[in-house]
Structure 1
Amino acid sequence: PRGLCPPPRHGSYNEHMQRVLAFLGEQGARQADFKAVYESIPLSPGVAELFQFLAKHRELFEVVLISDANVFGVEAKLRAAGARSLFRKIFSNPAGFDRRGYLTLGPYHSHKCLECPANMCKGKILTEYLAERAREEVEFERVFYVGDGANDFCPAGTLTAADVAFPRKGYPMHRLIQE
């Protein structure tokens, strides 16, 4: 439909997805449909191997996921991949099903970062998470940050000299780092 295309280039993706989800609800899509779709999304190349590595070395890594998708979709995919237990915490936009059975999406938080979309600043999330863990007297030798989107550039900028960013080659985060 015209009102849904093309998707926005920057900044209002969350609002765009709210419209898309409302449209899909009007077309009859329900929880089981969304779950099946999220579960069927293929993992990016190398991610299954990364999950296997992390599973073998759980004692060495504390893994969190920061995604501008939504909690319902992320959780469904991770469970289907047998990887949910690898993650200590998932930070994503809240999602749920309303009384009509429509999947609804909300913003994760508000923030003042001018680089990030209005609904989520991954840099703020990462910084606050690390500060919380420091208050709990958990220290990390280094942070490994894996990302691909333009919204992963902000948190990569919060990393220290000891930390490592892994941008997905050919994707917006990689291009921004090269610039």
Structure 2
Amino acid sequence: MTALSNNAPAASGARRFLVLFDFDETIINESSDDAVVRALPGQQLPDWLKNSFREGHYNEHMQKVLAYMADQGVSRDSINSAVEKISPTPGLLNLFQYLHSHQQDFELVVISDANTFFIETWLERAGVRHLFRKIFTNPASFDATGRLVLLPFHSHSCSSCPDNMCKQAILREYLASRQKECGGSPFKRVFYVGDGANDICPSLVLGPQDTAFPRRNFPMHRLLLEMQQSQIAMLKANIVPWVSGEDIVDWLKKIMTER
């Protein structure tokens, strides 16, 4: 992966456009949680651990997975290597190259139900960490015994989201904080790039000038199509499905001509 030179924008003034990214199966082409399991000697979890998962409690399940991996002797270096080897989603590095060349216009943020160690490690390895003003994800760090300890991001009252993270709450708080910092409406438009069912909730914050980019034929795309067909009034944003990051680049180039 080719690193982009680090001349990141200043963190104070907001850009014209805010671009929010999910991580798993959006920036990278698979789940980072699945990828690190391949660091196990048998490269898979035992059935008893797989079957312990409870719907809506995925963070809690991953805490058990990481504890099991530590018990099996999986080292920090092995986890680090497994994360660094994850392939980017097709065209995403080209998208980052485009956003890098227009840093004066775009502010980038990650909102992900992965964790800090996986995301920071991968973005650093790809040479794109400096493009992101903020990363919102579950805290994860290695303790004195070498175990990667995962924590929930926050608690919330949203009945639609996993118990550890509501992406809509995060987005609302971020927009409010940027508005306060900038003394007014901080962004001309907001774009959300995702793939999963938990990317629906933040998409409902978007207005008619904003755009949701669901990865084509992934859960976010299918659910948004269902919402469109049922004419649910909550969904106001434009919907632009994508297969490759190049699809998003093409769309952003059109937006950039509307100066």
After superposition, the Cα gap between the structure-2 partners of 1:156 and 1:101, relative to the gap in structure 1 and judged at 3 Å, is: same
1:60 aligns to what?
105
Separation in 1 of the partners of 2:189 and 2:149?
Answer: 36
| Residue 23 (1) aligns with residue 68 (2) | yes
| Residue 118 (1) aligns with residue 156 (2) | no
Q: How many residues align?
A: 179
Tell me the CA shift for residue 119 of structure 1.
Answer: 0.4
TM-score normalised by L of structure 2? 0.67
After superposition, the Cα gap between the structure-2 partners of 1:9 and 1:43, relative to the gap in structure 1 and judged at 3 Å, is: farther
Match of 2:196 among 149, 156, 167: 149
- RMSD, aligned CA: 1.3
3-state DSSP of counterpart to 1:73: helix
For the pair shown, which has the larger CA radius of gyration, 1 or 2?
2
Separation in 1 of the partners of 2:102 and 2:68?
Answer: 43
Separation in 2 of the partners of 1:73 and 1:23?
Answer: 17
After superposition, the Cα gap between the structure-2 partners of 1:8 and 1:81, relative to the gap in structure 1 and judged at 3 Å, is: same
Could you list the runs of 5+ residues in structure 2 that have no partner in the other structure?
1-45, 227-259
Which structure is higher in helix share? 1
After superposition, the Cα gap between the structure-2 partners of 1:43 and 1:6, relative to the gap in structure 1 and judged at 3 Å, is: farther
Worse-matched range after superposition: 10-19 or 86-95:
10-19
Match of 1:169 among 194, 211, 216: 216
- Equivalences for residues 86-105 of structure 1 within 5 A: 86-105=131-150
Q: Is the 8 A contact 1:30 1:103 kept in 2?
A: no
Could you list the runs of 5+ residues in structure 1 that have no partner in the other structure?
none
TM-score normalised by L of structure 1? 0.96
Separation in 2 of the partners of 1:133 and 1:29?
Answer: 40
Overall identity of the aligned pairs, in %:
54
- Relative contact order, CA 8 A, sep 6+: which one is greater? 2
For 2:104, give the aligned amino acid.
Answer: E
Q: Runs of at least 4 residues of structure 1 off by over 6 A?
A: none
